[in-house]
Structure 1
Amino acid sequence: MEQKTITINEKEFTLQKVFPVEWLKIRDRCKNKFGVPSEEKTYKEVLAHIVVSPKMKIEDFDDWGELDELVKEAVNFQQGGDEE
């Protein structure tokens, strides 16, 4: 699978794309019973499946901005938004 290393606040993170079928399953798991996306579930799933190094959980972050930027970068990478 395709990987990418990014740096946020002088920390390196390795992202890895998942197969499209797995991405669809992740997105489905992140919705509540009404079909509305849950940010908490999305962040947990992205950290578990796309951020491969270092392995982290939401609770490991003290800085909201760092967590938010990491997850946004990971989702963008997964969806091909940063292809050159």
Structure 2
Amino acid sequence: VHHKFDLMHETLFLAINLIDRYLSIQNVVRKSLQLVGITGMLLACKYEEVYVPALEDFVIISDRAYTREDVLKM
């Protein structure tokens, strides 16, 4: 995802940090790990990037495994 959207390295590092911190306090089933990942990447983009990929782009890159509403609920 990071490479596909041509994001800064700092965005990837922040996304990993956010995901790690979330997983340290919340048990997540394997089925939802990708959702946690794309949500973490979206949040990191909002902090670090000048251009933030659209939420729909994250849904599409996850092969529509989750809906827009799933990401927003997360």
What band does the TM-score fall into relative to the shorter chain? 0.3 to 0.5
Q: Pick the structure with greater CA Rg.
A: 1
Q: Which has the higher strand share?
A: 1
- Which structure features the higher share of helix residues? 2
Superposition TM-score, scaled by structure 1 size: 0.36
TM-score, normalised relative to structure 2: 0.38
